[in-house]
């Protein structure tokens, strides 16, 4: 025991030192409360389809995830759109990021601005302007899967560029020069050094793009025409009684994404350890 401090002082100091951490943990709990509810409700056995509250425990929702076929087709449509949008946006966005970081040319600032602007536009504006275009161009009748996909790629693109660009900018130029010094030609340098180093950034961007696409309601709703995605389905059922299977989907999405993030992190650590050895 330190003689200079009373127990009260020590306690005060301890609280002072841990106050911020405690606050941070409280904020995290705030972020997780609805997730707990989602997981809990996925095991709910509702007495009435009209009342959204926990009535009893059941596994039924998990055993029959597709009790409402419309939900499952909406989910699979959202996944299809999400995967396609992610793939295309990630490829295009990564190319743009490389161009912006590794190449000098006229109009860079314009390009940067063009990438920033979609992020600075509220979704409702993005969605309505796309709709205005489709209507004016006579594509109103074609609204559906493809128009949703076009819109999703558009708004994912900026996020991909920003994420990959950040990773690329943080990369040590010397590594590439070292590779060239060690007889790697430009293509080999890219494949053996640059790409593996940027890959975590690209993967992060792809994850972000997928979740943005899978989650989007506002832009999609304006440009979906007759097609229903998962968020649109949820929006619809929110007005007439939510099937608990919606929470199953929410829980599965949560678990898969956390597994991916944790997997990537563990893999990184393993590699680091292997390197350290």
Partner 1 sequence: MTEVATQPPEARERRKLTGYWLLLPGALWLLLFFLVPFYSLIATSLYDPEGSILTGYDMTWAFGNYVTALQDYWPPLFRALWYGAVATLLCLVLGYVLAYAIAFKAGRWKNLMLVLVIAPFFTSFLVRTLSWKLLLGDEGLIVDTLQFLNILGDDGRLLATPFAVIAGLTYNFLPFMVLPLFASLDKIDPRLVEASRDLYARPIVGFFKVTWPLSLPGVVSGTLLCFIPAVGDYINAQLLGNTQTRVIGAVIQSLFTDANDFAIAGALSMILMIMILAMVLLYVRRAGTEDLL
Partner 2 sequence: MSQVAESAETDGSTGAGSAGSGLHLRNLRKEFAAFTAVHDLDLDVPSGSFFALLGPSGCGKTTTLRMVAGLETPTSGSIALGERDITWEKPYRRPVNTVFQNYALFPHLDIYENVAFGLRRRKRKDVEREVDAMLELVELTSQARKKPAQLSGGQQQRVALARAIINRPEVLLLDEPLGALDLKLRRSMQIEIKRIQTEVGLTFVHVTHDQEEAMTMADTVAVMNAGHIEQMGAPAELYENPQTTFVANFLGQSNLIEGTVRGRDGEDVKVDMQGTVVTIPGQRAHVAGNAGDLGWVGIRPEKVLIAEEGQVIDAPGNSIPGGVVTDVSFVGVSTQYLVRMPWGQELTVFEQNTGRRRLFAKGERVDVSWRPEYAFLLDHTQDRAAGRDEDAD
Partner 3 sequence: MAGESPGPTAGSGAGRTTSRAPGASRRTFLKGAGIGAFALGSAAVLPLFGSASAVQDPATCRATDVSQRDKRLVVSNWPAYIDVAEAGDDQYVTTLQEFEERTGISVSYTDDVNDNAEFFARVRNQLGACEPIDRDMMMLTDWMAARMIGLGWVQPISAERVPNLHANLIEPLRGRQWDPDREFSAPWQSGLTGIAYNASLTDEVGSFEALMTRDDLRGRITLLSEMRDTMAFMLKVTGGDPDDFTDDDWYNAIDYLRGRVRAGQVRAFTGNEYIQDLTAGNIVACEAWSGDVIQAQFDNPDIKFVVPEEGLNLWSDNMLVPNKATHLENAEAWIDYYYEPAVAAKLAAWVNYICPVEGAREEMEKIDPDLVDNFLIFPSEDDLADTFDFMALDEAQNRQYEGDWSDVTSG
| 137/180 Cα distance (integer angstroms) | 50
Residues 223-242 that bind partner 3 (CB under 8 A): 224-226, 228, 236, 238-241
Residues 8-67 that bind partner 2 (CB under 8 A): 9, 13
Supply angle C-alpha 151, 259, 231, rounded to 5.
35
CB of 64 to partner 3, least distance (A): 11
CB of 124 to partner 3, least distance (A): 14
Residue 152 makes CB contacts below 8 A (sequence gap 6+) with 81, 82, 85, 89, 212, 213, 216, 219, 220
Give the largest CA-CA distance in the chain.
83
Determine if residue 108 is left, alpha or beta; phi over 0 gives left, psi from -120 to 50 gives alpha, anything else beta: alpha
Q: Which of 31, 51, 63, 275 binds partner 3 (CB under 8 A)?
A: 51
Cβ atoms of 245 and 65 closer than 8 Å: yes
Q: Which residues pair with 44 in a beta bridge?
A: 57
Of the candidates 261, 256, 258, 250, the one whose C-alpha atom is nearest the C-alpha of residue 62 is 250
| 76/44 Cα distance (integer angstroms) | 23
- Contact region for partner 2 (CB under 8 A) — 5-13, 111-119, 120-128, 183-191? 5-13
Residues 59-78 that bind partner 3 (CB under 8 A): 70
| 113/4 Cα distance (integer angstroms) | 59
Residue 56 in the binding site for partner 3 (CB under 8 A): no
Of 4 and 7, the one with the shorter C-beta distance to partner 2 is 4
Of the candidates 243, 213, 219, 216, the one whose C-alpha atom is nearest the C-alpha of residue 231 is 216
115 binds, among partner 2, partner 3, partner 1, none (CB under 5 to 8 A by kind): partner 1
Residue 138 in the binding site for partner 3 (CB under 8 A): yes
Q: Which of 2, 17, 48, 185 binds partner 3 (CB under 8 A)?
A: 48
224 binds, among partner 2, partner 1, partner 3, none (CB under 5 to 8 A by kind): partner 3
Residues 121-150 that bind partner 2 (CB under 8 A): none
Q: Which of 10, 13, 47, 268 binds partner 3 (CB under 8 A)?
A: 47
Residue 4 in the binding site for partner 2 (CB under 8 A): yes
Binding site for partner 3 (CB under 8 A): 47-53, 70, 109-110, 112-113, 116, 132, 134-136, 138, 140-143, 224-226, 228, 236, 238-241
């Amino acid at each position: 025991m330190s003689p200079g401090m009373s127990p009260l002082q020590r306690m005060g100091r301890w609280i002072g030192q841990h106050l911020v951490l405690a606050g941070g943990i409280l904020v995290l709990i705030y972020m997780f409360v609805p997730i707990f509810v989602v997981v809990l409700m996925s095991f709910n056995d509702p007495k009435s389809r009209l009342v959204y509250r926990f009535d009893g425990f059941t596994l039924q929702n998990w055993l029959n995830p597709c009790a409402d076929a419309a939900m499952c087709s909406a989910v699979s449509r959202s996944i299809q759109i999400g995967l396609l949008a992610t793939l295309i946006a990630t490829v295009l966005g990564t190319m743009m990021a490389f161009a912006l970081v590794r190449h000098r040319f006229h109009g860079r600032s314009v390009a940067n601005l063009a990438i920033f602007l979609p992020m600075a536009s509220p979704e409702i504006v993005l969605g309505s302007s796309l709709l205005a275009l489709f209507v004016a161009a006579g594509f109103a009748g074609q609204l559906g899967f493809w128009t949703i996909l076009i819109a999703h790629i558009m708004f994912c693109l900026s996020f991909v560029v920003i994420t990959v660009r950040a990773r690329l900018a943080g990369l040590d130029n010397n590594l590439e020069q070292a590779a060239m010094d060690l007889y790697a030609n430009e293509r080999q340098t890219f494949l053996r050094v640059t790409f593996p180093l940027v890959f975590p950034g690209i993967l992060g961007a792809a994850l972000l793009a997928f979740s943005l696409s899978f989650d989007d309601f506002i832009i999609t709703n304006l440009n979906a025409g007759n097609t229903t995605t998962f968020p649109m389905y949820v929006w619809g059922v929110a007005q007439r009684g939510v099937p608990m299977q919606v929470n199953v989907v929410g829980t599965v999405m949560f678990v898969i994404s956390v597994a991916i993030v944790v997997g990537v992190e563990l893999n990184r650590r393993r590699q680091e350890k292997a390197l350290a050895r």
